[in-house]
Amino acid sequence: MNTQKEIQLKIIGMSCQGCVNAVRSALENTSGVLECVVDLEKGLARVKVEEGKSNEAQLIKAVQEAGYDAELTA
């Protein structure tokens, strides 16, 4: 049975809808990601992942490769 978990990231450097689209695309193309919602106003991304197929470090790396910075929220 596959279990899911939600990871919330603070995204640094987003300023427009184009940024949101770039971050969302980078996260959605990461292995194990099931769903992703990016909120420009709050500067957050909520990502549902399949446990064991993706982790926080992979998500942060994907965001960084898209040209933004990310960190885990508390």
On whether the pTM is more than 0.85, the answer is: yes
Q: Looking at the 3D structure of the chain, how many domains does it have? A: 1
* SS3 per-residue string spanning 12-69: ECCCCHHHHHHHHHHHHCCCCEEEEEEECCCCEEEEEEEECCECHHHHHHHHHHCCCE
**For 13-64, what is each residue's pLDDT tens digit?**
999 999 999 999 999 999 999 999 999 999 999 999 999 899 999 999 999 9
- pLDDT for the residue 1: 58
pLDDT above 80 (res 74)? no
**Other CB atoms within 10 Å distance of the CB of residue 63:** 26
Quote the domain boundaries for residue 13.
4-72
Q: For residue 1, what is the enclosing H or E element?
A: none
CATH of the domain at 61: 3.30.70.100
Tell me which DSSP letter residue 4 carries: E
User: Are 63 and 9 a contacting pair, CB within 8 Å?
Assistant: yes
